[in-house]
Amino acid sequence: MILLIDTREQAPLTFPVVKGVEVRVQMLPTGDYGAEHDGIDDSTIFERKSLSDCFKSFTGDGYEREKAKWQRAQALGLTYILAIEGTASEVLQGHTYWLKGELHESKKSGLTMVRQLLSIQRRYGIPVWFTSSRKEMAMLIQEFYLSFERIKEEKERGKPDGRH
C-alpha cells in the first residue's frame, strides 16, 4: 500500500513505519491524504485541519473554499473525511491567536464551530474525525487505509464478513 500526501500539504503528518507501507508525496485532486492499493487509488481522501486552520477555514470566505473541496471530491466519486487535530472539547474551547504582538480570539465561538462541523457532517455526509493529536491522526488514517488491505486478504481467504 502507498500512503499519499498531497504536495500542497503545509504540515505533513509523520506516519508510523509499517511493513508493506510506502509513503509518497504527490499532487492529489483534492484533500491532503489518500492511498493506493496495487496501483488503484482508494476511494477515500482525508482533509487535515489544525485547530487554527479549522477556525480560519470555516469562517467567512474560507467556508466556500472548503465546501468546493468536498464537492470536488464527491464529483470525483470520493468519500471525503474531515480530520481535526483536536478533540471536540478542544474545539469547544475556541481559538486564540497572536497577531502583531497581540492576543486575539476567533470571532466564532467554539460551540458554534462544533455545531458547524456536525452540521456539515449531517447535511453533506462528510464524516468529521476529532483526534487528540497529530500522532493519533496519522495512526488512524494509516489504519483506515490498511483496513482495506485486511478486508481484501480476508475475502481472498474466504472470510467475507471479517470474522476470525
Residue 61 has a pLDDT of 87
The arithmetic mean of pLDDT across residues 103-120, rounded, is 94
Of 129, 150, 39, the closest CA to residue 82 belongs to: 129
Query: What domains can you pick out in the chain, each with its CATH number?
Result: 2-156 (3.40.50.10130)
Residue 106 has a pLDDT of 87
pTM: 0.90
**pLDDT above 70 as % of the chain:** 96
Residue 161 has a pLDDT of 64
Contact 27, 5 (CB under 8 A): no
- How far is Cα 7 from Cα 26, in angstroms, rounded to an integer? 5
- pLDDT tens digits, 123-133: 999 999 999 99
Annotate 48-115 with DSSP letters as a single string.
EEEHHHHHHHTSTHHHHHHHHHHHHHHHTT-EEEEEEES-HHHHHT--EEEETTEEEE-SS-HHHHHH
Residue 160 has a pLDDT of 62
- pLDDT tens digits, 38-85: 999 999 999 999 999 999 999 888 999 999 999 999 999 999 999 999
